[in-house]
Amino acid sequence: MITIINHQNNEFKIDLSKPLDISIPLTNTDENPIAWYIEKPEIEPVRFGDWVGKVSEGSSSTNFNNIFFNPHGHGTHTECLGHITRDFYSINQCLKQFFFTAEVISVVPEAQGEDFVITKSQIENALEGKSPEAIIIRTLPNLDEKRSKKYSNTNWAYLLEEAATYIRESEIQHLLIDLPSVDKEHDEGKLLAHKAFWNVKDVNTLNSDARLNCTITELIFVSDAILDGSYMLNLQIASFENDASPSKPVLYKIL
């Protein structure tokens, strides 16, 4: 058991021996989820002539794989506002702290024409006045097929701009969701929820009050065994100098 002290000097006790992983592993099989019209990841041994970087094939003493993947389309990933800006911003530079108070909420997206959307009132009602540093949105029904779903051209549910604005105005810094994007799949490049959450007014010239230290994490999976409520979030990323990184968000119950 350890004590976490957040930036507001509040203390939280958690048990590190009981992690609740809400990431989806990346594989080179058909079990890997896919979005944005790409193929599954590739994980293959390096080859130099007759030498193959795979112990089971006898020519190598080590397993030595190349991995080709896209963080946005191949699994759980965390992105910064550099995902939508003309200038380069790196998730590795924007995310400098890794433990946050978090609230898990469950919502049933509402039908709106041919779409299903998450509204401001749904977020507001689910939070019940709480103001965590991170929000984790689980959409219902919470089918296990989310772990391997092929999302391309499915018109997944998404956050309305008003909902993303409310999350920003609630001073929530980190938004996690079990969908490929907080925005509509085919939205003509508007990216209304991304822009509202990061407070990006012009992707060509970044405004001074844009939220550089805030992140969006997509394609998570929150098991039904994890109840709605308050947790401590450990948001782990790989040190990629890129707009996004594959990530491993892990929850801990607050004791």
Give per-10-residue mean pLDDT for the chain (255 aa): 78 94 97 98 96 94 98 98 98 97 98 98 97 97 98 98 98 98 97 98 96 98 98 98 98 96
Rg (the chain; Cα; Å): 19
Instruction: Give the C-alpha separation, 150 to 40, whole Å.
Output: 10
Helix and strand numbers (H, E) in the chain are 4, 17
What is the pLDDT, as a whole number, of residue 29? Answer: 96
Instruction: Give the C-alpha separation, 197 to 166, whole Å.
Output: 8
- CB neighbours of residue 113 within 10 Å: 6
What is the pLDDT, as a whole number, of residue 101? Answer: 97
- The runs of H, that is alpha helices, within 84-186 are 91-94, 120-127, 161-169
What is the pLDDT, as a whole number, of residue 6? Answer: 79
In CATH, which superfamily holds the domain spanning 2-31+71-253? Putative cyclase (3.50.30.50)
Beta-carbon contacts of residue 245 (< 8 Å; ≥ 6 apart): 71, 77, 78, 91, 92, 237, 238, 239
What is the pLDDT, as a whole number, of residue 105? Answer: 98
User: How many residues are present in the chain?
Assistant: 255
Structural contact between residues 192 and 183, judged by C-beta atoms closer than 8 angstroms? yes
Instruction: Give the C-alpha separation, 140 to 30, whole Å.
Output: 24
What is the pLDDT, as a whole number, of residue 96? Answer: 96
C-alpha dist (Å) from residue 116 to 97, 131, 156, 188, 220: 33, 26, 7, 17, 19
> Which pTM does this prediction carry?
0.96
